[in-house]
Amino acid sequence: MIGLIGKILLTLSFLSGVVSMCLYFQGAKNDDTAKLKIGNWLFGAKGAFLVAASGLLVYLLFTHQFQYYYVFNYTSLDLHPKYLWSAFYGGQEGSFMIWIFFSWLIGFGLMKWTREPYKAPVLFFLTLTQVFLLSMVLGWDIGNIKIGSSPFRTLVEEMPDAPFIQANPDFVPQDGSGLNDLLKSPWMMIHPPIVFVGFALMTVPYCFAMAALWKQKYNEWIGPALPWTLTGNVILLTAIFLGGYWAYVTLSFGGYWAWDPVENASLVPWLIGTAGIHTMIIQRKSSVAQKSSIFFAILAYVVVIYETFLTKSGILADSSVHSFTDLGLYNQLLLFVIVTTGIGAALFLWRYKELPTQEKESQILTREFMTFTGAMLLFILGLVIILGTSSPIIGLLFNDNPTPPETSFYNQWSMPIAMLMAVFTVLGQYLFWKKYNWETLSSALINPLLVTSVFTLASAIFGQVREPYYILYMFTAYFAVVGNGWVIAQLCIKKPKLIGGSVTHVGFGILLIGILASSVYNEPMLDGRIAQYNENVKQGNVKDEMGFTVTEPVLFLELKLKEPKIVNDKYIVTYVGFDIEDQNRPGQQTYKLLFEPLDGGDPFYMYPEVYPMLATSTQENVQWSVDPDVRSGLLSDIYLYVAGSSYIKQRNDMIARRANVNPVGVQDEVPEIQTIQFEKGETITVGGFEMNFIDYAMEDTAALPPSTTIGVRAQVQVHHIASGQRFLLEPLFALYNDEEGKTFVFSPPVDLPGFDISFSFSKVRPETGEIDLSITGLDEEYKSEWILVVAEQKPFISVVWLGTFLLMIGFTVSIFRHWGRERKK
């Protein structure tokens, strides 16, 4: 019943959207304010229906009505209420709804503040996009044509042919399948809504540009469009930052950026939007670049829709770590892309001849030229990224079954473009505020260049930046920081309100420094033995059991309970233990690691977590998911997660045993022979004995048979705790060849006097110096407690965040400036 009401509400919302769109169209065509007014009322009604429908969906989510597919698929009974909100936009249907909702709110702002003659056409284009988005959640079935996918569909509608539905059409599951555990994060509560606010705001420049083309007023739209675009930009940047931060602290790929299509989907509109901001600013100042302002304003939104198509149509299924669901909206989304692009391009080309052209060419040393170049560079970077993201389509040019490009494709292209950008930010900012010729500009830049050189040199000497290409990159990044910093210093004295642009550009430079430092100078945290092993791997000296050269270094840190290890000659790291917690994520283990800096700093703890993914785990198959811990420092972060532990291994073994249905009792029996691995000097306590592997003792090979190649003894001290008796055993390990040249191991057992226990030295691991002792007759099973940690030292992540914050601050200052001027009109 509620579902039906929900569907009707969404249909009403769609219909009032269509009618208000028609009214706006006529209002715009005939300058008919009466039509515009009715259109506004219907626009309001459309949103009211949508809000009511959203309210119903929220109600269904909070009352756990699992007969509805959306509720079943994204929630479960034990889900914390705050994450029931996340579940609202956990699926595509809900995310479309929240997108329309924000776009609707923005509509009221546009109604209030937009002046004639733009008002009606702007609202027409805004409503047009909303009608498309609303059609995605309709869930109409007309004959064979399916329009939209409704969040209110029931399980029966979702899979009518399933046997359990046919047996019992009123079937209601007792619990839902639950929200993806990775999304149970406060960051993931706020990130998606902010993305959609950003996408909704990016519609505004599109609407203004289209209105300008329609009404043939090519200059005035910049005034109101600029603050909207800037706001969209800040919001989108915030969303990108939150997404990156979430990926860094929640996922185990160990970074904040992976050139994933979903990340690119918000980065590219941001880049194109920023290009648009540049051309709008020079258009406002000097009445040039009308064409490119309109072009970028249209393109920014087209890109939003295109990327939505890529990520939501299922076409990227193979190329992303994100799992996309294909809701069968492919054709509808494609139509959306074609219409927004089509009418954008058509209107642009139709008016192209009429658009103002610049009388004479700009000189190179003008703010127009420099700002325009900046916009072009942003545009090119956006283009490169779109090209890479479109690999499932564009890749068909190269082969029939294309893979996504390697990430090096993105890195190789974005680096030089970013370097050029960095240089142009300084030239652009200098020329923006003052006229220069080559001579005066060079002399004005001498001091900044000197400071830049000093910084670059310092990085090369103290920061180990030695690669020429990186030195050049760092030079341009420092130049952006210093040069724009210089401009800020001068502006602060005269007109502090105008520093927005230069703050943004300083932020950009800092971001570049942070990106390089944090990605290239990443250092795995390993103990000395593994580091030595990796060094051998690097030199190609290590072979695996198949005889192939090992190329991949080991990046694990293995820690035994309460056995400190020295890591990177910097810390003593000890695994102290773990707790099991059943509150937020039942079955979650919180591991506790103690770090003691060798240079005498304060010790600290880190708490990585491992938990069973409840949404996807079953009794027979527990899937463990990791939650890294990050210790942020001013200069360097420590990032680590637990990749395995003795506890998890035991749990998995137990599940495996249960699956094999062993006879009862067998699993508790102590094995007759136990093989225990010892490091040199290590003491292990089991079955009432303390055993210490003291050292190797060389065996005289002369005393052994002539075919023996190796003979070595282990000195093992065994201490019977109850009686206090101590024994020194020296079991032998020998390799000998038979007549045919085959190698055999000879490890005779040595008895422990007075006990029914014997030791044999069964294996040597020359690469690590460890040995295996096989012990017969112990009455307790030895279980060592260990964890396997992946830890990295990541320098200057904080610099990446700092750069991002400065970008946000700079853009925000500009919003106030442009908004303030617009209000005064």
Q: Is the peptide bond before 663 cis (omega within 30 degrees of 0)?
A: no
Choose among 378, 375, 385: nearest CA to 411: 385
Nearer to another protein, 56 or 615 (CB): 615
Residues 799, 514 contacting (CB under 8 angstroms): yes
Return the beta strands (E) in 69-161 as ranges: 140-142, 145-147
Identity of the residue, 725 or 768, whose beta carbon is nearer to another protein in the bound complex? 768
For residues 543 and 67, give the distance between their C-alpha atoms in angstroms, rounded to a whole number.
Answer: 57
Q: Find the shortest distance in angstroms from Cβ 474 to another protein.
A: 24
Cβ 645 to another protein, closest distance in Å? 11
Contact between 573 and 594 under an 8 Å Cβ cutoff? The reply is yes
- The torsion angle over the Cα atoms of residues 105, 110, 111 and 115, rounded to 10 degrees, is 170
Q: Which is nearer to another protein, 144 or 399 (CB)?
A: 399
For another protein, the closer of residues 141 and 751 by Cβ is 141
Nearer of residues 396 and 598 to another protein, judged by Cβ:
396
Q: Which two three-digit tokens encode residue 593?
A: 């690691």
Q: How far apart are CA 255 and CA 797, in angstroms?
A: 9
| Torsion angle of C-alpha atoms 470, 476, 481, 482, degrees rounded to 10 | 120
Q: List residues binding another protein (CB under 8 A).
A: 69, 72-73, 158-159, 162-164, 168, 171, 173-175, 177, 252, 317-318, 321, 323, 325-326, 380, 384, 387-388, 391, 394-395, 397-406, 408-409, 412-413, 544, 546, 548, 551-552, 554-556, 558, 613, 615-616, 618, 621, 623-626, 643-644, 788, 790
- Cβ distance to another protein smaller for residue 194 or 643: 643
The least CB distance from residue 529 to another protein, in Å, is: 12
Are the CB atoms for 378 and 272 separated by under 8 Å?
Answer: yes
CA distance 719 to 740: 42
In the complex, minimum distance from the CB of residue 371 to another protein, in angstroms, rounded to a whole number: 19
- Is 471 or 555 the residue whose CB approaches another protein more closely? 555
Terminal Cα distance for the chain, rounded: 52
Q: What distance in Å separates the CA atoms of residue 454 and residue 283, rounded to the nearest whole number?
A: 37
> Could you tell me the smallest distance in angstroms from the CB atom of residue 428 to another protein?
20
d(CA 478, CA 517): 13
CB of 768 to another protein, least distance (A): 9
Sequence-distant contacts of 558-566: CB under 8 A, at least 24 apart: 558/786, 558/787, 558/788, 558/789, 559/593, 559/786, 559/787, 559/788, 559/789, 560/784, 560/785, 560/786, 561/784, 561/785, 561/786, 563/682, 564/596, 565/527, 566/527, 566/528, 566/598
| Closest by CA position to 201, among listed 750, 815, 823 | 815
What distance in Å separates the CA atoms of residue 556 and residue 553, rounded to the nearest whole number? 9
Looking at the Cβ atoms of 163 and 706, the one nearer to another protein is: 163
Cα gap 366→438, rounded to integer Å: 11
List of residues 6+ apart from 376 with CB closer than 8 A? 275
State in angstroms the smallest separation of the CB of 788 from another protein.
Answer: 7
Nearest 5°: the CA angle 601, 603, 609 is: 140
Closest distance to another protein from the beta carbon of 308 (Å): 18
Burial degree of 696 (CB within 10 A; 0-12, 13-18, 19+): middle
β pairing state of 523-524 and 557-560: unpaired
Least Cβ distance, residue 254 to another protein (angstroms): 11
Closer by beta carbon to another protein, 192 or else 803: 192
Q: Name which of 619 and 700 has its Cβ closer to another protein.
A: 619
Q: Is residue 139 left, alpha or beta, with left meaning phi > 0 and alpha meaning psi from -120 to 50?
A: left
Task: Provide the minimum distance between the beta carbon of 820 and another protein in the complex, in angstroms, as a whole number.
Answer: 39
- What is the closest distance, in whole angstroms, from the C-beta atom of residue 306 to another protein in the complex? 17
Q: How far is the CB of 372 from another protein (least distance, A)?
A: 13
Nearer to another protein, 72 or 595 (CB): 72
Long-range contact list for 391-399, CB < 8 A, 24+ apart? 391/319, 392/310, 392/315, 392/316, 392/318, 392/319, 393/315
Q: Which of 301, 279, 298, 302 shows the shortest CA–CA distance to 222?
A: 279
Q: Pick the closer one to another protein by CB: 326 or 354.
A: 326
Q: Which is nearer to another protein, 391 or 814 (CB)?
A: 391
In 3D space, the residue among 520, 523, 606, 513 whose CA is nearest the CA of residue 798 turns out to be 513
Residue with Cβ nearer another protein (11 or 75): 75
253 or 604, CB closer to another protein? Answer: 253
Among candidates 625, 589, 592, which has minimal Cα distance to 607?
A: 592
Cβ-proximal residues to 636 (8 Å cutoff; 6+ apart), any chain: 793, 794, 795, 796, 797
For Cα atoms 316, 306, 296, give the angle at the middle one, nearest 5 degrees: 145
- SS3 category, 704: coil
Cβ 619 to another protein shortest distance, Å: 11
Taking the complex as a whole, the smallest distance from the CB of residue 20 to another protein amounts, in Å, to 34
CB of 556: closest distance to another protein in angstroms?
5
Q: Please classify residue 746 by burial: count the beta carbons closer than 10 Å to its beta carbon, then call 0-12 exposed, 13-18 middle and 19+ buried.
A: middle
- The continuous run of DSSP H or E covering 715 comes out as strand 708-720
* Contacts with 319 (C-beta within 8 Å, 6 or more apart), sequence order: 261, 391, 392, 403, 404
Smallest separation (angstroms) from another protein to the CB of 387: 6
Q: How far is the CB of 227 from another protein (least distance, A)?
A: 33
Q: How far is the CB of 533 from another protein (least distance, A)?
A: 10
Comparing CB distances to another protein, the nearer of 79 and 626 is: 626
Angle between the N-to-C axes of helices 290-312 and 186-215, in degrees from 0 to 180, rounded to the nearest 10 = 140
Q: Is residue 626 classed as helix, strand or coil in its secondary structure? A: strand
